[in-house]
Amino acid sequence: MGLFAKLDRHADLMNRMAETVHTDLSGALARESLSAQELRNAIMACVGCEGGSQCPDWLDRHADGAEDAPSYCRNRAVFHRLKEAV
């Protein structure tokens, strides 16, 4: 898988995870609760996550939503912070 395809895949996983844990990434960017650099860093953390192969299944099983991201998620604290910032 090429670099851009990998980045796109993980950006999609990040968006799905945000929706699943009821976090609005676009709103956080607009409110400046999340900077563009922080979002890029979060996507890169997702790319390097060893649990990333588990995410699609986890997201499918939690299609109705979840309180928090899974414990292996490198961005769990980011999602939690953004939910608290609203």
State mean pLDDT over 25-45. 96
Structural domain total, the chain: 1
**CB contact at 8 A, 82 and 27:** no
Q: How confident is the model at residue 71 (pLDDT cuts 50, 70, 90)?
A: very high
pTM of structure: 0.91
> Which is it for the CA torsion 78, 86, 35, 13, positive or negative?
positive
More confident residue, 60 or 49: 60
Q: What does the pLDDT read at residue 1? A: 76
State mean pLDDT over 46-64. 92
Range of the domain at 41: 3-84
